[in-house]
Each structure stands twice: as structure tokens, then as C-alpha cells.
Structure 1
Amino acid sequence: MNLAAKQKLAGQLRQRMFEAASEAQIEVCNYRLIQVENRRYGLSYVSESMLTYQNLFTQVHDAKKNGPKAKATFGNEALEESMMELGYTYAGSLGVVLLAPTQRDIFQHGALDASIDAFFRVVEIDSRSAVRHVAQELGNAVIKRVHDWSAANVKGGFDADVRWNRSDGRQLGQLVGRERMERIVGIIEAASDEIRNIRPIVGTLVGIDVMTGSFHLVVPNGEDFKGLLGPDFDRNREWPVNRAYGATILEARTTIYSTEQTRRQHTLLNLSDRAPDLSAPAAAPVRR
């Protein structure tokens, strides 16, 4: 009877806290880690899970506020606006209630509402096409952050139950299981973003080998291009080196989401004794 009374009192106090948080314009996040591998709640695993969660949420908020970013960085203003504070912890797996002060506009919308909505869309990644869609909408940085958060929970052996009580009274949340996060990690590590761009340049041909299909071309006081000859490149003509040519180069930039590394690959499509018209509008880059 005493236990039932205490549980009832705890429920009443929790409801009063939600009401007070709404009046004080505070968003409430219930973050619960469930150990699914019968392991202990190691401090390093728990702290990494919570830190990567904060970083992911801040990166999403920064994208909604300032636009997508290619690298996993965010501004101090976005961090301050999305910083969650420790409210209290509770038993039953490992539950943490986090508080995020916010402001409302004239329509009574909280400053974090759009970021909360976007967060739950991000954790529903289930394919490479979904990865690319999120990357185009919110930036490569968000993909890197959701990879790191998922990997941290996989390493710790956790399911993550994330639920928000927004300032408008709406409740959002879902259980993101360890197996699902393991799939997210695998999908992101297998996904990449490739942008192809055809570039007309004027440079000095310092090396070419039609047998191996390779070339080396240098723009004076500019870039250095090394790569392969295109399939339609004229291999029958002799191309004297150490002289200037007009060149058309296909540049492919491939970004690996999980590591943020970018690889550049160059293909020489053709050479000409005449310089190309560099003032002409360049063809729009193509994403693959």
C-alpha cells in the first residue's frame, strides 16, 4: 500500500512538473537507456550515448536555424538554444529527464519545435536514399551525428527510448532499438554522396601515359590535376608535354558520410590546342 501511494504521488508530481515546465516555456525530454545485452550501465557508454545525443540534436537545430552544413560543426548560439539540462533521473532501466528552456513566438510555437520534429525524422533512416534525402535537407553533418549516436548505443548495448513533451503540449517519442541503430550505422557507412562537375581549364600537361590511361596536368599558380583518361579521349595523337592546353576535366567529389572524408577523382575528357571559353556559364554539378 505504501509503494502504491508513493507511485501515485510520483505520478502527480511528474504531472505538476510538466505543467510548470509548460508555463515556464521549458521543453521536457525523457531519455531512457534500456540495456539489452545484460551488461552494466558503464559510465563511458552512458556518457557517450548522452553526449552524442546532445550533439545530434544541436546539429539538427543548427540546420533548421542556419541551414545545412557539410561538416559536423555548429555555432555557439545554436548550442545554447538547444542545450539540455539535467532535471532528474529515475529507476526502471536508466531514465533521465532533460530540460531545455525555450522561447515562443506570437503563435505560441516553441523555438525547438521544428528541431524536435526533424530529429524524429532523422532517426527513421532506413535506406541509402533516405540518407541522401536527409543530407540534402539538413546537411551531411546531421548524417555524421546520427551515425555517431547510433554507434555509441550499439557499443553500449542500449535501446534508446526518446520522448519529448513540447511547449505546445504535443508529445512526440519512440523507442529506437539497438538492432535498428545497428542497421542505421551499416546504411550510413555504406552510403556516400557524389557530385560530378565538368570543368574547362587551361593548364600545362606535365605527364600522360596512353597505355595506363593516366595524366597529370597543372594550372599555373593553381590546382594540380591527376587522374585517368576518359573513354573517348584521343589516344592516337601524340601529345607533347610541358606545354599549355585547353582541357575539359570531369571532377567527381565523393563524400563518405560516416567519416566526413572527401575523395576527388579526375577524368580527362579531351585536350585542345585552343583555350576553352572560361567566361561561358559552367554546367550545373550533377549529384549521384
Structure 2
Amino acid sequence: MTLSSEKSRKASYEAARLARLERALTVDPDDRKLRLQVSAAKKRADFAQQLFLESLSIDHDVIDYRIVQASQRYSLDGIAESLMSFQSALTAIYDSLTSGPKERANYSANVKETTRLGFGYSYPGSVGFVLTIQSQQDLFGGALDDTSAAIEQFFEIDNLNDAIVASRTLGLGAISEMYRWVRSNATHGNSIDLNWRHSRKGYSGRFIDLNKFQFLERLFAGAEEREVKSLSVEGILVGLDVQTKRFHFVQPGGDSYKGKLGNDFGGEPKEVPSRYIAEISIIETRTPATGKLSIEYELFGLSLIN
């Protein structure tokens, strides 16, 4: 057994013992002897946790992830989904900050390994997990400091505009993974007490109330960003149906555009196939909750090339 494994076992044991005594004290809060036992047990639990932290190398962050439910009715799937979606969100945010925003959530093997959470120990009293993650050091701190800060900032979002800005800044891939974490906890009725001990910069964290998860789930479920771009392109009109209001336009050896006729399109008969300069609108719709990017084309004008 390694030193950190032994210390984690001891920390888990002391935390469980403290939780049992605290539960007993809620039944008989006037028991003076029990209060003294709780006080002593808390000191032992804190000391055991400190020894565990010190047993880790300096390049490790430690995350205290505590799931809290008012009903105290914890389900296995609710706990597992909360932890796994947090892992995915952490990986996605780290990748976005180091490699740039992405439209889809896909990562290299190195990124997955760098952000892989390890299990330290669990403790009762709600459902708590002490997780570890290696954090490489440089002169400015740990590699994951910005990741934890970005996760905290996500929970400052309080309106639709903030949600759209976050999806642009971090990318649809990362935001969709954050949404999965939010939805998991909102669905299972979880609040999360998240505390992060950084390898160099001390502690950060916050208590994320169930109401916040539910609010963000509703906000992102309705969030949608629509961007319209204009394009003038030379090519061949290979299909036009004024009844169904559809068109097909191609650039020889280049792009192909299929879509609907714009409201301002005259609908006059055109020679098909033939070369034209087409005025096309490109409509991009981003849905942060699903990470979906859809692109539609609208044809507004045609100029025949003689």
C-alpha cells in the first residue's frame, strides 16, 4: 500500500466516524459527552485529511466534491451521472482553454489523460468524494487553475446573453458538456459543494445550489444563437423549384448550396442549368445545450452570366 493510499484510507475512516457521531448528536443534542466526542472526532478527521493532502506530491490538485440532497434519497444513477458528467465537463473546459473553442466535444488521448480524475476517498454526511488530479506546474501556477476558474465563472451566468457569450468563448463542445453536468444535477435534485485545493494557489470553490442548476438548465435549453452572412458566388444553377421554393447551386470543383428561396426572391423562371452569380444568405444556428450547429442557405438573387 502506498503512503497516499494508506492516508486516504485513514481519512475515509475518520470522516465516516465523525459522520456517525454527528448523526447521533442530532438525535440527542443535549448529550454533553457526545458533543465532546464529536469535537474530538472532527479534529482527528481534519488531521487525517491534512496528512492525506501532504502525502500527495506538490503537482496534485485535490477536489472535494460533495453531493447534497434535501430529501437525502440518493440514487446510484444520480451519483454516477453527476460524477461522470463533471469529469466530462472538466475535460471539455480544459481542452477549450488550451486548444481553443471547438464545435464538437472530441479530445486527444493526452488531454483525456491530463484531466483524468483519481479517487482519493469518499465520506458520508451527504455523499462526498475526495478526488485527485495531477496538475503540471510552471512559474504562473498549476495547469488546471484556469480550468477551475472557468467552471466557477460559468455559474455567474444569469441571462440569455451571458449564455450566448459563453458558448462563443468556450465553444459549443465545451458548453454542451457543461450543460450535461447541469442537467444531470437538476434532474436528480442535487446541489454540489465543490471545493478545489490547488497545488500552488490555495483553495477555490463554491456551493452550487439545486436552484442554480435548474435555472441554468432552463436557460440553456432555450438558448440559441443565429448568425446570418451574405455570400455572392459564381457558379451553376442546377435546380430551381418555385412551387416548393427550393434551389440547388454549385461551384464547379467547389462548394454546393441547397436550400430555400428567400422571401425577396422574385420567383421568375430561370434557365436551368446555366451559369449565374448567386446572392445567398448563410444562416448558422448554434444550440449550446446540444452542441448542435446547423447551417441553412437562402437564395435571394440571380444574375445571368452571358
- Give the TM-score category using the shorter length: 0.7 to 0.9
1:112 aligned to 129, 138, 144, which one? 144
Q: Within 5 Å, which residues of 2 pair with 1:249-268?
A: 249-268=280-299
2:186 aligned to 133, 136, 154, which one? 154
Question: AA paired with 1:177?
Answer: D
Any stretches of 5+ residues in structure 2 without a counterpart?
Answer: 1-35
| TM-score when normalising by structure 1 | 0.86
1:17 aligned to 30, 41, 52, which one? 52
Deviation at 1:265, TM superposition (A): 2.4
- What percent of counterpart residues are identical? 24
SS at match of 1:272: strand
Query: 2-side partners of 1:32 and 1:196: how far apart?
Result: 44
Cα displacement string for residues 30-77 of structure 1 (whole angstroms, at most 9, x for unaligned residues) = 1000012x1521111100000000100110111111111111222221
Query: 2-side partners of 1:180 and 1:108: how far apart?
Result: 32
Cα displacement string for residues 73-117 of structure 1 (whole angstroms, at most 9, x for unaligned residues) = 222211111111110111210011101122211x26111111111
SS at match of 1:29: strand
Going from structure 1 to structure 2, the CA distance change for 1:242 and 1:169 (only over 3 Å counts) comes to closer
Cα displacement string for residues 214-268 of structure 1 (whole angstroms, at most 9, x for unaligned residues) = 231231565241212242x345x54233333221100101122222333332221
Is the counterpart of residue 248 in structure 1 residue 279 in structure 2? yes
Question: AA paired with 2:171?
Answer: G
1:143·1:188 contact (CA, 8 Å) conserved in 2?
no
1:239 paired residue number: 270
Question: AA paired with 1:243?
Answer: S
Cα displacement string for residues 124-172 of structure 1 (whole angstroms, at most 9, x for unaligned residues) = 2222211121122211112101110011111211101111011114211
SS at match of 2:142: coil
1:190 paired residue number: 222
Question: AA paired with 2:164?
Answer: R
Is the counterpart of residue 28 in structure 1 residue 59 in structure 2? no
2:256 aligned to 209, 223, 228, which one? 223
1:285 paired residue number: none
1:27·1:167 contact (CA, 8 Å) conserved in 2?
yes
SS at match of 2:132: strand
2:172·2:292 contact (CA, 8 Å) conserved in 1?
no
Q: Within 5 Å, which residues of 2 pair with 1:158-173?
A: 158-173=190-205
SS at match of 1:151: helix
Query: 2-side partners of 1:266 and 1:161: how far apart?
Result: 46
Any stretches of 5+ residues in structure 1 without a counterpart?
Answer: 276-288
Q: Which moved more, 1:87-96 or 1:253-262?
A: 253-262
SS at match of 1:144: helix
Query: 2-side partners of 1:65 and 1:142: how far apart?
Result: 12
Query: 2-side partners of 1:132 and 1:73: how far apart?
Result: 21
Q: Within 5 Å, which residues of 2 pair with 1:1-288?
A: 1-21=36-56, 23-36=57-70, 38=71, 40-105=73-138, 107=139, 109-201=141-233, 202-209=235-242, 214-219=245-250, 222-231=255-264, 233-235=265-267, 237-274=268-305
Q: CA RMSD in A?
A: 2.0
Cα displacement string for residues 1-46 of structure 1 (whole angstroms, at most 9, x for unaligned residues) = 344322211111222333444x53210101000012x152111110
SS at match of 1:194: strand
1:278 paired residue number: none
Question: AA paired with 1:17?
Answer: F
Query: 1-side partners of 2:259 and 2:39: how far apart?
Result: 74
